């Protein structure tokens, strides 16, 4: 009976360590998702600008850039 209790205690200890490691791993994954979300938002806005430049043509895009930069 003592062997069974030892096995249960050892299994519980290993499971607790595994859960703690997984919590740290998932926090890291979530942090990377959050930083990736910011990057994807920037990329999305750049794509919108490129689409507008393509739709309006290079002349209109050049004039917009000149006005935007104050040249």
Which token pair is 25? 């791993």
- Statement: the pTM of the whole predicted model exceeds 0.85: no
The domain spans of the chain are 2-69
What pLDDT is stored for residue 30 in this prediction?
94
What pLDDT is stored for residue 3 in this prediction?
86
What pLDDT is stored for residue 53 in this prediction?
80
pLDDT in tens, 4-63: 889 889 999 999 999 999 999 999 999 999 888 888 999 999 999 888 888 887 788 788
Radius of gyration of the chain (CA): 27
What pLDDT is stored for residue 50 in this prediction?
84
User: Quick one: which of 63, 41, 61 has its CA closest to 51?
Assistant: 61
What pLDDT is stored for residue 67 in this prediction?
86
What are the two backbone dihedrals, phi and then psi, of residue 57, each rounded to the nearest 5 degrees?
95, 165
């Amino acid at each position: 009976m003592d062997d069974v209790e030892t096995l249960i205690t050892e299994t519980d200890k290993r499971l607790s360590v595994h859960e703690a490691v997984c919590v740290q791993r998932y926090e890291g994954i979530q942090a990377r998702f959050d930083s990736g979300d910011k990057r994807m938002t920037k990329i999305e806005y750049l794509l919108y600008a490129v689409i507008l430049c393509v739709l309006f043509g290079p002349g209109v895009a050049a004039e917009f850039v000149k006005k935007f930069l104050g040249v």
